[in-house]
Amino acid sequence: MDASWFEPVRAYCERTDAAFWAEPVNALSNAAFLIAAALAARRARGDGPVLALAGIVFVVGIGSFLFHTLANRWSMLADVIPIAVFIYGYFALAMARFFGLRPAAATALTLAFAGLSFGLTPALDALSGRSVSGLTNGSIDYVPAILALLGVGLALLRRAPGTARSVLATAGIFLVSLTFRTVDVGVCARLPLGTHFLWHGLNAVVLYRLLIAATRFRV
């Protein structure tokens, strides 16, 4: 493997050096994802798609733990790739389960959503002339996910009010968690621990709520 893959990455307030346990709170708070995955799998009761996504949530926790301990370029991929897989996997499931779309249509919409997501940051960078992702500590990359949750929740209001309210509330929790992720580096002077661990805890709640919504509602 190229040596650059082992290049140290310091992305969060808690890390002050390259030591394995330099981010103990950020690392250990990933247990929230493992708990969320286990609880969701227990509630899924044989629901194959939801069980698969619960497995991905478990991998999210492992990948994030690796990044907050090893803190290099390859472990960063181990952190972000499972998150992306969950986002697009859940979007496809939502299109099929909440709106009754056939697999081809759900897949096409998911690919369109992925294209929008990957194109957002470069487009904003071009408009502003600077790295928008850098200014937001990378949180701008999650804006399409919030917009998707809001869109799904609003579209479900007449079809399934209870599920719609749950999805919209989950979008609100996600927005709060994303705020903690964004401000982490900016609060280092006043809060050396940072706020990234709160992103882990609240985001685990978000993923759990989404999985439970999918188990409770089907067209």
Q: Which of 168, 45, 163, 172 is nearest to 99 (CA)?
A: 163
Q: Based on the number of CB atoms within 10 Å of its own CB, is 68 exposed (0-12), middle (13-18) or buried (19 or more)?
A: buried
Q: Is-contact 164 156, C-beta < 8 A? A: yes
Residue 43 CA to residue 47 CA, distance in Å, equals 9
Write down the pLDDT at residue 99: 95
pLDDT value, residue 34: 98
Task: Profile the chain (219 residues) by mean pLDDT over runs of 10 residues.
Answer: 80 93 97 98 94 98 98 95 98 96 97 93 73 82 95 95 96 97 93 96 98 84
Q: Is 72 helix (H, G, I), strand (E, B) or coil?
A: strand
Instruction: Write down the pLDDT at residue 132.
Output: 78
What's residue 3's pLDDT? Answer: 66
Q: What is the pLDDT of residue 129?
A: 66
